[in-house]
Amino acid sequence: MPDSFAARIPTLAEAELRRYLEQPQAYKAEAVEAALAELRRRGCPVSETDLARIGDVHRQREAQRAHRAARSGRWLGTEPATRGARIRRVTAGILAAGLGSAALLYLRAAPRAANPLGYEPEDTKRYLRQLEVVGGKANVVATEFQRWFEGLWQGRQLAFTVAWLTLLLALGFWFAATRLAADGGGD
């Protein structure tokens, strides 16, 4: 989506253009520059204090950008190729450790012990009816959700839970690291 301020700035009234100069931190640097250029084109005077404030805001933004670049450069590296390789290596490490753990959990998990009664009392219609009488349908749904959630952390299901959490963690790291590298690297 192209920046709409380039087409919008020439249509604004002088008071609206001055708002860009009075609050430059609230707008993109390009929008502030375009508003300043439009005011000059119209022959409107611009005070030195406004120009100084705009310059201060630009310097602060550049300092923040440089600080982010330095911060990300510490562990990602300064070169784009180095950053990309390190991000891929860390992501692969997260995936290898997590999926390896999930595979080990899957192989080591003992099968669920059979109930000595031969059936699960919680699965009977009588038990579900009693739950519904005591607490309503919300109680039945809450109990089923609780049983499902507790089941995620036991046996072979735990291996699948660890695998999914690993995939989410790796994706989250990759997304954050690539955005940080692109933002801090200025490429």
Give the separation between CA 176 and CA 97, rounded to whole angstroms: 19
The residue among 31, 78, 83 whose CA lies nearest residue 57 is: 31
- Contact between 185 and 80 under an 8 Å Cβ cutoff? The reply is yes
The SS3 of residue 187 is coil
Q: In this predicted structure, what is the pLDDT of residue 71?
A: 65
State residue 134's pLDDT score. 92
Cα–Cα distances in angstroms (integers) from residue 81 to residues 84, 93, 163, in the given order: 5, 18, 29
Instruction: Return the HEC string of 11-58.
Output: HCCHHHHHHHHHCHHHCCHHHHHHHHHHHHHCCCCCCHHHHHHHHHHH
pLDDT tens over the chain, length 187 residues: 455 767 888 888 888 888 888 888 788 888 888 888 888 888 888 888 888 888 888 888 888 877 776 665 566 666 778 888 899 999 999 999 999 999 999 999 988 788 788 788 888 899 989 989 999 999 999 999 999 999 899 989 999 999 999 999 999 999 998 888 776 544 3
In what helix (H) or strand (E) does residue 86 lie, and over which residues does it extend? Answer: helix 80-108
Nearest to 64 by CA among 31, 21, 25: 25
At 187 the pLDDT is 39
Provide the whole-model pTM. 0.56
